[in-house]
Amino acid sequence: MAVIRSLLALLCLLTAVPGVAAEPLKALIVDGQNNHKVWPETTKMMKSYLEETGRFTVDIATAAPQGTDPNFHPQFSKYDVVISNFGHGAAAWPEATQKAFEDYVAGGGGFVCVHAADNSFPEWQAYNEMIGLGGWGGRSEKSGPYVYLNDKGEIVRDTSPGKGGNHGAQWEFPVVVRDREHPITKGMPVEWMHAKDELYDQLRGPSQNMQILATAESAVTHRHEPMIFTVSYGKGRVFHTPMGHAEYSMECVGFITTLQRGTEWAATGKVTIPIPKDFPTADSVSSRPHAP
């Protein structure tokens, strides 16, 4: 089925403009240090999800497993979009690599922050501005406000003292689309069930130039926490989802579709990848078992 989906997606791209084949977008996944031990598998999953659309070619750059890797210098400028699968406790990148990444995104490069990547690099101010919100690593009210939606659907920026980052037990939870016109979420059901995952709450950060596209109600805070959002950083586009804890979380068709469309948007500002027929509904989760 994955092969058939890939061929159909490629056919759509080739026939979108008569006689013109769409140039594949170049994506880079960066990883190597993540408190989630499943990260080598989830990197493979994200690579395959992007490639099966026919829209992307995907490379991987992996840092040394511990400490700052002096040889970690990906050539960001070669890519249309960079996806981070780093996590909590990741050592800082070399200063030259940090500067190159800041210049890349500010200059118009796309960036995708997935799950624990928003735990990374609490001391790196530019990174925190890129991701908008983050958690753990000592983040607190000093990192920025706690952002959530109240019962009226209004954005609250809570600057009171408190930690940044928390989650309860993993569970299947409904995702509520708040912006139905954004290219990433356009066409999605207003509400859909996400597979078993950690629902991050109490994320804090600069949250500047941030647009919340979808939320989920935390069983801990009983507030709607951002689950799909974007951030503008200079000329660059950032797509951020706190979903995607484990392989079973990433097998959710809602996650797969969101990753594919969010990555395409970060790279181009547009979305051509369709909502699949097996997308989850308000009543049921939809998952695709991923072969190792």
Residue pair 68/98 in contact (Cβ under 8 Å)? The answer is no
- pLDDT tens for each residue of 24-48: 999 999 999 999 999 999 999 999 9
Give the pLDDT score at 7: 46
Give the pLDDT score at 18: 41
The secondary structure element, H or E, covering residue 141 is: none
Give the pLDDT score at 11: 45
Residue pair 60/27 in contact (Cβ under 8 Å)? The answer is no
Strand pairing report for 171-177 and 191-197: antiparallel
Give the pLDDT score at 13: 46
| Residue boundaries of the structural domains of the chain | 22-268
Give the pLDDT score at 21: 54
Q: Is the pTM of this model over 0.85?
A: yes
pLDDT < 50 regions, the chain: 1-4, 6-20
- pLDDT tens for each residue of 217-262: 999 999 999 999 999 999 999 999 999 999 999 999 999 999 999 9
Strand pairing report for 224-233 and 210-217: antiparallel
Closest CA to 240 of 219, 218, 209: 209
Strand pairing report for 25-31 and 56-62: parallel
Superfamily of domain 22-268: Class I glutamine amidotransferase (GATase) domain (3.40.50.880)
- What is the sign of the dihedral through the CA atoms of 212, 84, 91 and 209? negative
